[in-house]
Structures are given as structure tokens and as C-alpha cells.
């Protein structure tokens, strides 16, 4: 039988620890998680080794920056690995790129969040159909499929993204990236936190 001291120990120490661990698990699973950016594909807006918040309940919109598990999406990802990219197309969108200009549903999308060199270097001219045929990742898609997203890195010339391996399934997405309040980079906060559109 438990004595009075044992009961107090359980009440004062063990129970709070268990509750704390449970709360931390629930927050990490359903609300938010802090992750570290790995690589330069989201420069100039996110830097290598920068820590950001992934907000899990957030709605994914065009221009949202997301974290997703690339295993099963990118053939080069032979195990679970998180990628950070910007959502360019949501289900049903048509996408094309011509002379450094991005078009979604035949409307030019301003890309003021990156400079001219990043908009043009290594981008070329393409449609969903042409890059799918070129890189062999799809059956000549005209639109982004249901429950999928088309993503690009902001640093277009170095980013390994949907151009090369196709769409990201909704089930693979961890959540939407937010630059935290403690960051001193006001421009990055605007270009990551505030650009999402319907």
C-alpha cells in the first residue's frame, strides 16, 4: 500500500511531469513545432539554420510557406526529411513560367519577395505539362491535382522542388511556416508571414 509520503510524491512530482509531457505532446502534434531551416533554397527570406515556427492548424493558401515530408515525393529523399518551400499552386490551378514571370490561372503573380536574378536564373520557360514530361514525374498534367500542391523554393536557381519531382500531397504537409516574433528581419516576416492569398 502507498503511504502518505508516497501519495504526496506522486501528487507533487510524478503527476505534474506526466501532465506536462502530455501537454507538450499535444502541442507538438496539433498546434505548433519549432524547426530549423536546412539549406539555401528559401533565401533571401529564410536562412540556413534559421529557426521558424510551423503552425499546424493554419490553412494552406497560395504563397504560404510550408514544411512537408519529402520522402515519397522527391525520389532523392530516401528517408523521412523535411523540406521548406513556398506553395505556388493549390488544387485546380494551372501554372506556367515565362521569361522570369510566374502565371497562375493565366494571371501574372508579382514576385516582389525575390529579386530579378532569383526570378530568372535557372527558371526557363515551362508549364506543368512540359516539366512533367521533361523530368518524367507525371502524365502531362494541366492542373494541380486534388489534395496536392505545387511548390517552389524562393531561391529558384538552387531549389530542388516541384519542377523536378512533381506535386506535394496534402497528407505530407506538417504545417505553415511563420517567422517568429523574436526575429529581427522585418522583411522576412512580411515575405513569409503575410503573403498568403486565397
* Domain regions of the chain by residue span: 1-30, 32-193
Check if 101 is active-site.
no
Work out the mean pLDDT of the chain and round it to a whole number: 89
pLDDT at 17: 73
The string of pLDDT tens digits covering residues 47-74 is 999 999 999 988 999 999 999 999 999 9
CATH architecture of 32-193: Ribbon (2.10)
Check if 36 is active-site.
no
Q: With a cut of 60, say whether residue 30 has pLDDT above it.
A: no
The string of pLDDT tens digits covering residues 74-107 is 999 999 999 999 999 999 999 999 988 999 999 9
Q: What is the pTM (predicted TM-score) of this model?
A: 0.85
Phi first, then psi: what are they for 41, rounded to 5°? Answer: -70, -15
Reading the block at residue 133, the C-alpha cell is: 514530361
Helix/strand/coil (H, E, C) string of the chain? Answer: CCCHHHHHHHHHHHHHHHHHHHHHHHHHHHCEEEEECCCCCCCCCCCCCCEEEEECCCCCCECCEEEEECCCCCCCCCCCCEEEEEEEECCCCCEEEECCEEEECCEEECCCCCCHHHHHCCCCCEEHHHHHHHHCCCCCCCCCCCCEEEEECCCCCCCCCHHHHCCEEHHHEEEEEECCCCCCCHHHHHHHHCCCEC
Neighbours of 92 (CB within 10 A): 10
Q: How far is CA 55 from CA 86, 100, 105, 166, in A?
A: 15, 31, 28, 24
- In the set 28, 56, 85, 190, the catalytic residue is 85
Show Cβ contacts of residue 37 under 8 Å, excluding neighbours closer than 6 positions.
46, 47, 48, 49, 50, 51, 52, 84
Our CA dihedral for 112, 89, 73, 68, rounded to 10 degrees, sits at 60
Question: With pLDDT > 90 as the criterion, what percentage of the chain qualifies?
Answer: 66
- In the set 41, 64, 159, 162, the catalytic residue is 41
Reading the block at residue 137, the C-alpha cell is: 514525374
The string of pLDDT tens digits covering residues 111-162 is 999 998 888 888 889 999 999 999 999 889 999 999 999 999 999 999 999 9
Amino acid at each position: 500500500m502507498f503511504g502518505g509520503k508516497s501519495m504526496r510524491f506522486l501528487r507533487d512530482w510524478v503527476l505534474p511531469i506526466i501532465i506536462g509531457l502530455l501537454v507538450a505532446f499535444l502541442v507538438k502534434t496539433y498546434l505548433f513545432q519549432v524547426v530549423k531551416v536546412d539549406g539555401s533554397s528559401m533565401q533571401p527570406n529564410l536562412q540556413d539554420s534559421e529557426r521558424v515556427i510551423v503552425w499546424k492548424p493554419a490553412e494552406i493558401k497560395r504563397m504560404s510557406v510550408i514544411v512537408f515530408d519529402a520522402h515519397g515525393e522527391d525520389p532523392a529523399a530516401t528517408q523521412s526529411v523535411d523540406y521548406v518551400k513556398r506553395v505556388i499552386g493549390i488544387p485546380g490551378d494551372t501554372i506556367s513560367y515565362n521569361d522570369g514571370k510566374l502565371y497562375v490561372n493565366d494571371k501574372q503573380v508579382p514576385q516582389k519577395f525575390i529579386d530579378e536574378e532569383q526570378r530568372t536564373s535557372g527558371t526557363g520557360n515551362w508549364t506543368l505539362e512540359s516539366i512533367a514530361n521533361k523530368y518524367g514525374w507525371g502524365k502531362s498534367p494541366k492542373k494541380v491535382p486534388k489534395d496536392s500542391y505545387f511548390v517552389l523554393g524562393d531561391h529558384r536557381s538552387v531549389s530542388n522542388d516541384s519542377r523536378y519531382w512533381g506535386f506535394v500531397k496534402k497528407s505530407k504537409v506538417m504545417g505553415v511556416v511563420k517567422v517568429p516574433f523574436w526575429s529581427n528581419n522585418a522583411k522576412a516576416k512580411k515575405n513569409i508571414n503575410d503573403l498568403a492569398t486565397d
